[in-house]
Amino acid sequence: MSRSIAYNSSPLLASPTPVWRSKFIVAAIALAFVGLAGRAVYIQVIANDFFQRQGEVRFARTLALPANRGRILDRNGVVLASSIPVPSIWAIPEDVDRDPQNLKKLAKLLGMSMPELNKKLEDDKSFVWLKRQVDESVGKEIEALKIKGIYQRKEYKRQYPEGEAAAHVVGFTNIEDLGQEGMELAFNKELGGRDGSRRVIKDRMGRAVEDLGEQVAPVDGRDLQLSIDSKVQFFAYESIKEAVLKHKAKAGGIVVLDVHTGEVLALANYPSYVPDKRVNLNGEQLRNRTLTDSFEPGSTMKPFVIGLALNTKRVTPETQVQTAPGRLTIGSATISDSHAHGMLTVNEVIQKSSNIGTAKIALQMPAREMWEMFSSVGFGQKPQVPFPGAVSGRLRPYKSWRPIEQATMSYGYGLSVSLMQLAHAYTLFGRNGDIVPLSMLKVSGPVAGQQVFDPKVAEQVRYMLHLVVGPGGTAPKAQTMGYSVGGKTGTANKQEGHGYAAKKYRGVFAGLAPIDAPRIAVAVMIDEPTNGQYFGGDVAAPVFSQTVQQTLRVLGVPPDMTVKPQVVTDAVEESF
């Protein structure tokens, strides 16, 4: 039997409990509740930032409100680039319904194979882009499939209505709508605007279920109006493309400038590309050759040297220059003309494109004067246009020139220019001997120029340029129906290694129209023609003729000739 214990007889239990102890226990419990309440108030009311952030991380999101990129317009308001909203397809891979039939249809709509689609769905469990910026019709077909875990989001896609004709002017943007080439890159900040934001609560499917009310409105990019005329641009591009293909050339470029304002009316290159369909692009297509390529311009330099001699009164248009016997030795080097011309006037030196006549006149002048004149028209200096990659060309300091180098520079060897620089320099003769800055943006109002030659000298050189396209000149193919024109041919061997390639040439033509009151300056370059003809008068002058006729009609310039010009077929072969 267990022994019974009398608990009530225990001395410990029988002793009375002190009153203070029970009060202490009750007070401790009350203080604990007060502490917990205070902590709750502190966390939820006074210092709730940390916990608020932690909570928001789990359910609140900041959505970007993309700004609409500004449009690029031509001088007449024609759209060259604009943005449209299009769907982009994304997925939560762990939620995707893997029904083979639906996935096969999805892959076909996205333009990818099943292995490619499956790989994308395996890359990430929570989020993956399947394809960005698809056509609206494709987005609707994908939505109609109602595949669980597949979603869409609106993004802006850039469109280029003028296609490859204006590609090197406008450029393009990347998938993030940031400018990568051309004016899209040069004015990316102005066109791009500033994105806004919106705070929302999202569910696990990525859907916004509640607006938190915190919103910053986007600031759309501003429109950009260029100096380009879309019609002139199209005609110029088609002309240079046709010439490159006809002469089986490597490439070609053309620039059309407004003589009055310095505005670039057209800038085209071939090969080109379609800005919004950039598939298998290469460097040859992307290069804006009119600005990034420099070359020795050949005889197109002669009018500047002759103009300087006229301006300093060393010669007059009727001054006689002996070019016989067709060769001139300077030091250990000999320069020559393609034909022995004998005695020529200064007018005829330009008309016949005599290297010897130009060199003899150049050697009458200090090298410093030639260098200063070349510099004043922009040679050796980067063109002041907002294009990335524009080159300055090459013009060595005059102190290093030897007599033979000064002579060869007078007819375009030993210095290099871009086609844009050449076209810009020729506006000097179209104006009253002054030159105005270039502009890729539309200009309103008169533009002040820098005086280089006397106005009478500019007029005298224009007359010489007109002789070039007439009977006995080197470029009768530059003649234009209804308009008087003038210009200068240039044909230069291409540099290769430390010398010149024997059978690689650039054919160039630069000129003005109408010749008595010029409105436009046009420069054309054909790189490596290989179809039998390579002189500038044969490959580049016809492009000038076509472009001038179309451009002046677009600009509303009335014809200044009523008789069809007689094209001379037995043209004098130009000198290099």
Q: Are 384 and 314 in contact (CB under 8 A)?
A: no
H-helix or E-strand spanning residue 190: helix 188-192
If you compute the radius of gyration of the chain from its CA atoms, what whole number of angstroms results? 38
**Phi, psi for 206 (deg, rounded to 5):** 85, 10
Q: 311: helix, coil or strand?
A: helix
Distance (Å, rounded) from C-alpha 191 to C-alpha 70? 5
Active site residues: 299
Omega before 18 within 30 of 0, i.e. cis: no
Long-range pairs for 29-32 at CB < 8 Å and ≥24 separation? none
Q: Are 275 and 160 in contact (CB under 8 A)?
A: yes
Look up residue 538 and give its two tokens. Answer: 């044969």
Distance (Å, rounded) from C-alpha 156 to C-alpha 171? 17
Look up residue 556 and give its two tokens. Answer: 């509303």
Question: How many Cβ atoms are within 10 Å of 229's Cβ, its own excluded?
Answer: 24
Long-range pairs for 7-14 at CB < 8 Å and ≥24 separation? none
Q: Are 149 and 46 in contact (CB under 8 A)?
A: no
Look up residue 290 and give its two tokens. Answer: 């009119």
Concatenated DSSP letters for 114-152?
HHHHHHHHHH-SS-EEEESS--HHHHHHHHHH--TTEEE
Distance (Å, rounded) from C-alpha 455 to C-alpha 34? 97
If we measure between CA atoms, which residue out of 560, 550, 575, 565 comes closest to residue 265?
550
If we measure between CA atoms, which residue out of 419, 453, 474, 505 comes closest to residue 168?
419
Q: 110: helix, coil or strand?
A: helix
Distance (Å, rounded) from C-alpha 555 to C-alpha 364? 42
Q: How far is CA 167 from the centre of its chain?
A: 8
Q: Are 511 and 487 in contact (CB under 8 A)?
A: yes
- E strands, 249-363, are 251-258, 264-270, 320-322, 327-330, 333-336, 343-345
Largest CA distance in the chain: 155
Which residue in the block uniquely carries the two structure tokens 């001139």? 328
Omega before 514 within 30 of 0, i.e. cis: yes
Q: How far is CA 130 from the centre of its chain?
A: 30
Q: Are 224 and 72 in contact (CB under 8 A)?
A: yes
Distance (Å, rounded) from C-alpha 221 to C-alpha 402? 54
Q: Which amino acid is at 32?
A: A
Question: How many Cβ atoms are within 10 Å of 306's Cβ, its own excluded?
Answer: 25
